[in-house]
Amino acid sequence: MIAGSVPLLLLQLNSFHLLFIHPFETLTHPQVVAMVCIRKATVDDLLAMQACNLFCLPENYQMKYYLYHILSWPQLLYVAEDYNGRIVGYVLAKMEEETNECHGHITSLAVLRTHRKLGLATKLMTAAQNAMEQVFGAEYVSLHVRKSNRAAFNLYTETLGYKIHDVEAKYYADGEDAYDMRKQLKGKQLHQHHHHGGGHHHHHHHHHHHAGGCCSGEVKADKTETKGNAKVA
């Protein structure tokens, strides 16, 4: 009786689009969205993040570069994990310092083709941006995107509110130009508010300083490894 009930159970699950999903189909069912969670990345996720990067993007990184990010800014790395525990997307981000302006940078963003158009890229980006503001007091966030990557460009401009700051000629290894894009954040106001709001907020503001400060410039990664890009649609 138990053995006979297994196919029936699978059939019931299949009627909810939870099982037997073809790996190359785009998932558009609302049930699928609920089955993917956005969470902070851990060291154990780095290999899966790297695999996702290799599937999705021509800009690839050595494992030491992922480790550098998670050891320096563990608050800024997020993954999208499906109900099977598989990593289907990630955002790799860091803090930088230029002209006394503390700002964040999106190194890389990717979502597997099977899980696009579900809003995961927006959720990953929003999680990283919020952490930049709240933890590090970032005044803005920057990123680079290929001129030809219209899907990513539309996500950044129309959904996330980024604006073109500059064009970097031949930024990518194959000679393609990049848009240098920026989005203003409210980190400065948030941190000023914390400073004036009483002592109990101060641990929140200062806990990262032992790790090199807000926008530590400890290690300047080789430029060939910092060319972040995104492929989201």
Higher pLDDT, 3 or 90: 90
Higher pLDDT, 26 or 141: 141
**The token pair that represents 121 in the structure block:** 């890229």
Average pLDDT, the chain: 79
Q: How confident is the model at residue 87 (pLDDT cuts 50, 70, 90)?
A: very high
Of the candidate ranges 24-28, 59-63, 105-109, 156-160, the one whose mean pLDDT is the lowest? 24-28
Q: Return the percent helix, strand and coil in the chain, to nearest 5.
A: 45, 25, 35
Give domain 26-139+185-216's CATH number out of 1.10.3720.10, 3.40.50.300, 3.90.870.10, 3.40.630.30.
Answer: 3.40.630.30
Give the pLDDT confidence score for residue 101 in this predicted structure. 83
Domain-by-domain residue ranges, the chain? 26-139+185-216
| Short-list 131, 21, 143, CA closest to 86 | 21
Backbone angles phi, psi at 47, to 5 degrees: -65, -40
**The token pair that represents 167 in the structure block:** 């064009």
Give the pLDDT confidence score for residue 20 in this predicted structure. 36
pLDDT digits (tens, 9 = 90+) for 123-176: 999 999 999 999 999 999 999 999 999 999 999 999 999 999 999 999 999 999
Cα distance between residue 147 and residue 180, in whole Å: 10
Mean pLDDT of 7-26: 38
| Short-list 79, 46, 42, CA closest to 62 | 46
